[in-house]
């Protein structure tokens, strides 16, 4: 039998060993973290450029049309369908985009367009986005809706598609929904979370559900 003093002494000894082991692990972690941080800092530019080249190549491989070298792809988009998507020059694409063309649908994106994180663009007819337009995070632009056919499920009833045209220098805020058949005029602004169900005049600002004009300033003002 071990005496109480011996048990206490053994317990204290074990605690000291555990504390010592923890200190060693922390020192090793700190040393490796410092080393790796320095390495990552030194190679950040190279790694960023290689990642963008990889993303550009992945995007190009999914499309039926070539992608200009000036297009910057910050994260690999999720591309589905026929790949009938045309990008202009100097387009900036943020990560987590969803791009889809089905049937005879096509997407045309003009020069200098910025598309933010999480945007969904789906075409069964035609979607055109003009030069210099900026599209906020998690916006949805879809030119088709499901239809209802008696005796069929919604899934099997097909779609009704109408083209969407977004002009030049349009500013679309975060979380906007643009429905089929809509034209948004040059220089218009669409407020965050708006649902655009009808045409927006050039230079106008629209907000709300459904989107309504709150400011009709002209683009040359």
Query: How do residues 32-75 score in pLDDT, each as one tens digit?
Result: 788 888 887 888 888 888 999 999 999 999 999 999 999 999 99
114 Cβ partners below 8 Å, 6+ apart?
91, 92, 94, 133, 134, 135
Q: Is 63-215 CATH 3.30.1300.10?
A: no
Task: Give the separation between CA 139 and CA 201, rounded to whole angstroms.
Answer: 20
Q: What is the pLDDT along the chain (221 residues), one digit of tens a residue?
A: 555 555 455 555 566 666 787 888 888 888 878 888 888 788 888 888 899 999 999 999 999 999 999 999 999 899 999 999 999 999 999 999 999 999 999 999 999 999 999 999 999 999 999 999 999 999 999 999 999 999 999 999 989 999 999 999 999 999 999 999 999 999 999 999 999 999 999 999 999 999 999 986 644 43
pTM reported for the whole predicted model: 0.81
Tell whether omega for the bond before 210 is within 30 degrees of 0, i.e. cis: yes
Return the domain boundaries, the chain. 63-215
């Amino acid at each position: 039998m071990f005496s109480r003093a011996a048990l206490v002494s053994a317990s204290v000894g074990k605690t000291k060993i555990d504390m010592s082991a923890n200190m060693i692990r922390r020192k090793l972690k700190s040393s490796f973290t410092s080393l790796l941080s320095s390495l990552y800092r030194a190679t950040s530019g190279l790694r960023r450029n290689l990642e963008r080249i990889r993303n550009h190549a992945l995007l190009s491989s999914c499309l039926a049309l070539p992608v200009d070298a000036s297009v910057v792809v910050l994260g690999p988009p999720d591309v589905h369908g026929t790949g009938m998507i045309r990008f202009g020059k100097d387009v900036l694409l943020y990560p987590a985009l969803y791009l889809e063309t089905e049937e005879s649908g096509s997407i045309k994106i003009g020069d200098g367009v910025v598309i933010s994180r999480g945007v969904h663009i789906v075409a069964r007819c035609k979607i055109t986005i003009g030069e210099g337009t900026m599209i906020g995070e998690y916006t949805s632009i879809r030119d088709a809706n499901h239809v209802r056919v008696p005796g069929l499920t919604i899934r099997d009833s097909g779609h009704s598609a109408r083209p969407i045209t977004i002009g030049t220098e349009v500013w679309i805020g975060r979380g906007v929904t643009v429905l089929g058949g809509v034209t948004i005029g040059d220089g218009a602004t669409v407020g965050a979370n708006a649902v655009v169900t009808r045409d927006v005049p050039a230079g106008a600002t629209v907000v709300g559900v459904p989107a309504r004009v709150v400011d009709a300033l002209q683009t040359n003002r």
